[in-house]
Amino acid sequence: MRVLVIGSGAREHALLLALRKDPAVEQLAIAPGNAGTARIAEQYDVDITSAEDVTALAKQFRADLVVIGPEMPLVLGVADAVRAEGIACFGPSRDAARIEGSKAFAKDVMAAARVRTASSETVDNPAKLDAALDRFGPAAGQEAWVVKDDGLAAGKGVVVTADRHAARAHAAALLESGHPVLLESFLSGPEVSLFCLVDGATVVPLLPAQDFKRVAEGDLGPNTGGMGAYAPLTWLPDSVTAAMVHEVVEPVAVELLARGCPFSGLLYATATGTLADAPAPRWRSGCAVTVVLAAENYPGRP
């Protein structure tokens, strides 16, 4: 199998390292990649937000499978274009990717699927911002304001603060740049991330992990795309993981299917719609811990 990975970050580097271990993978390529990925795969400098450029490269490389890491190409419909050429692709369609590309859309899907989630309000008019802020955060008896960029922000568009001035400034800056704002009720407790293999109808959970998004020690500082993570979570009961699958992931997958935009993500079985026939994943004992080395001033510019 010839596999083309799309992206340039640590996620795509990790995907390449894993794919190298698969005896079925004969040739690997990445676009655009980075200095680290150049050591382990053919590298191509293309615009990964261009469906035309990515499909042309996939055909040139004679890819059997295209794996798209970043969210932006998915939201722009690159996976749709690759599939239209008859090439298997990991990654949801443009319509299904809206669940990542718009938090307001994700909230709408969850509401329709009756998935429990924090109450929220979308603000797209600066004149309505102050009144909306009054309905959340300390003004409404909550510990903090949660202010989110409605669109893609690489995990960096969220501000959680008890300072109304800081909450308002972040929201106002987003609105000024043309981005709707999502205000959300503050929820406290340990964070758990659960990834699942989904091919539209079938859902297979992977191991839950805990992700640390704040930049500084002690869960302080601005939000990032992630500063580190570990798995498995020995303190998390299996019943909680099962509840997350049955009460969150499966209803969302069913709702997207009903809307005509089935979600397909996580590697080959899901790319070809054969996940139900694949053997269940097996896990070896031990743990995985990842720590991010970031440039000074991250998540801002160095």
- Predicted confidence band at 225 (pLDDT cuts at 50, 70, 90)? confident
Q: Which pLDDT tens digit goes with each residue over 227-254?
A: 999 999 999 999 999 999 999 999 999 9
The class that CATH gives domain 119-184 is: alpha beta
pLDDT at 202: 86
Between 290 and 108, where is the model more confident?
108
Position 68 scores a pLDDT of 95
Q: What is the pLDDT of residue 197?
A: 86
pLDDT attached to residue 155: 59
Is the predicted pLDDT of residue 105 greater than 80, yes or no?
Answer: yes
Q: How do 220-231 and 288-291 pair as beta strands?
A: antiparallel
In CATH terms, 196-260+282-291 corresponds, of 2.40.30.110, 3.30.470.20, 3.40.50.920, 3.40.640.10, to 3.30.470.20
Tell me the percentage of the chain whose pLDDT exceeds 70.
96
Give the mean pLDDT of 6-35.
94
pLDDT digits (tens, 9 = 90+) for 179-188: 999 999 998 8
Out of 41-45, 157-161, 250-254, pick the least confident: 157-161
pLDDT at position 32: 97
Comparing 40-44, 57-61, 138-142, 265-269, the range with the smallest average pLDDT is 265-269
DSSP string, the chain: -EEEEEE-SHHHHHHHHHHHT-TT--EEEEEE--TTGGGTSEE----TT-HHHHHHHHHHHT-SEEEE-SHHHHHTTHHHHHHHTT-EEES--TTTTHHHH-HHHHHHHHHHTT-----EEEE--GGGHHHHHTTSGGGGT-S-EEEEESS--TT--EEEES-HHHHHHHHHHHHHTT--EEEE----S---B--EEEESS-EEE---BEEEEEEETTTEEEEEEEEEEEE--TTS-HHHHHHHIIIIIHHHHHHHHHTT---EESHHHHHHT-GGGSPPP---SS-EEEE----TTTTS--
Residue 294: what pLDDT? 84
Residues 84-101 have a mean pLDDT of: 91
| Mean pLDDT, residues 79-107 taken together | 92
Q: 298: number of CA atoms within 13 Å, CB side?
A: 15
Domain boundaries, the chain: 2-91, 119-184, 196-260+282-291
Q: What is the mean pLDDT of residues 7-34?
A: 94
- The answer on pLDDT for 266 being more than 80 is no
pLDDT tens digits along 46-88: 999 999 999 999 999 999 999 999 989 999 999 999 999 999 9
| Assigned CATH for 2-91 | 3.40.50.20
- Cα separation, 89 vs 239, in Å, equals 32
User: Is residue 153 scored above 80 in pLDDT?
Assistant: no
Residue 96, pLDDT above cutoff 50: yes
Asked if 260 and 93 touch (Cβ cutoff 8 Å), the reply is no
> What is the pLDDT averaged over residues 133-141?
93
Structure-token pair, residue 203: 């859902």
Q: d(Cα 97, Cα 261) in Å, to the nearest integer?
A: 9
Confidence at 264, pLDDT banded by 50, 70, 90: confident
Instruction: Give the pLDDT band of residue 282 (cuts 50, 70, 90).
Output: confident
pLDDT of residue 274: 59
pLDDT recorded at residue 267: 39
Average pLDDT of the chain?
A: 90
